[in-house]
Structure 1
Amino acid sequence: MEISQFFKDYGYIITVIIVPVGLWIGSIRYQNRQIRRNARLDLFLRLMAYRKTSTEHREWVIALNQIDVVFQDNQKVRDAWRNYFDSLNPKSQHFENANSFLLDMMSVIALSLGYKNLKQTDIDRVYVPHLFLSERAMKDMIQSEYLRNNLMSDGFSSSIDKEKYVQRLDYLIENSEPFTSDILKALKNVSCEKY
């Protein structure tokens, strides 16, 4: 009887104190879960938006670098990201299949967010207007022409001979990153034919 009497006497006080504190703690946990889910969803949507663009988009690179943090408690996503990351290395045996690893990673992320009906074929399908491709090709052409013109001159008005031009290109090829040196080698082959 003492316990029931205790609750009769102090039940109101306990209810007034404990219930609001419990609700407050529950709402904080709910908000934290929502914040984490929104961060995951935002990251997934950014990855989806830039998935077929060239790797030079900063948003794409930033989103990839956030995967380990945003999905820190999801080992499947982190393993899929690690596999995709390894496939991005040009020396990797999986370099040619990087897109397959990307699709796997995106599928794992989609499943973790509850997108059960989103298939890899859906993820692989993307709309890129012809205008975007034309703009990119034009920018690439302008950049290579700008580089070629700068390498072929000593200033604004004087040009150099083919031997000095080839020496400059060889120096740049030797002292640049592998990807850049491949581009410079291609430029050398094309421009030496034109010289």
Structure 2
Amino acid sequence: MTPFEIVTAILNLLALILIPIIAVIIGQHLQNVSAKRKDKMDVFKTMMMNRIGWSVEGTRAMNIIDIVFSDDKNVRQAWSEYYHALCVKDPDEIQLKQMQQAQDKLLEKMAISLGYKDKITWETIQNPYVPKGMMEAMDQQQIIQKGQTELAKVAGAFAQMINTNAANQAPNRQEDNPHANT
């Protein structure tokens, strides 16, 4: 066997061993990249679907932003700003507007991260489709919830008043039983 044939045989043997290993490594890397993109897309889609209100799915999506977008500091910064805007107790109209703007900025950063920079614009994000009937139903639900809260407060105050009156009117057992001290 000539030296050329020996080198060729060794190279063929190495190729037979290394090519499948390299193919598996590349395939696994591509699957990981695809899974990360899918996770990011799932969070983005859920948040886009929940722009006009909250849902359990939307809350779950927000709670994994730091994980799913761990490699994108712009998204995580926008999420931090939105989170801080959401942490206001009893927000006024200005704070509600700031919350909405922070949410829109977060969605914009997510769109850019996913490669939709020129396809999903600021205007697209700020103009969700909201059917009139849906908004009326949401408003009605809010009125009902406020009414239930008020009713619960009144019922609690009434129960407390009854308990107070009952305690004040309850006879003292020692006074009723003349033989109690004997």
TM-score by length of 1: 0.70
Deviation of 1:116 after TM superposition, in Å, equals 1.6
Separation in 2, partners of 1:89, 1:145: 25
Deviations 1:131-159 (A, max 9, x none): 112222222333333344444448xxxx9
Question: Counterpart in 2 of 1:131?
Answer: 133
| Unaligned segments of structure 2, at least 5 residues | 163-182
Question: Counterpart in 2 of 1:35?
Answer: 35
Question: Counterpart in 1 of 2:46?
Answer: 46
Identical pairs, percent: 24
Letter in 2 for 1:132: M
How many pairs align?
Answer: 156
Letter in 2 for 1:129: P
Letter in 2 for 1:137: D
Q: Is 1:24 matched up with 2:21?
A: no
- The one of 79, 84, 87 aligned to 1:86: 84
Separation in 2, partners of 1:77, 1:3: 58
> In structure 2, do the counterparts of structure 1 residues 10 and 76 end up closer, same or farther at CA, with 3 Å as the change threshold?
same
> In structure 2, do the counterparts of structure 1 residues 70 and 3 end up closer, same or farther at CA, with 3 Å as the change threshold?
farther
Deviation of 1:164 after TM superposition, in Å, equals 4.5
Separation in 2, partners of 1:3, 1:112: 53
Q: After TM superposition, list the pairs within 5 Å mapping 1:18-167 onto structure 2.
A: 18-53=18-53, 55=54, 57-90=55-88, 95=95, 96-117=97-118, 118-153=120-155, 160=158, 164=161
| Unaligned segments of structure 1, at least 5 residues | 166-195
Letter in 2 for 1:142: I
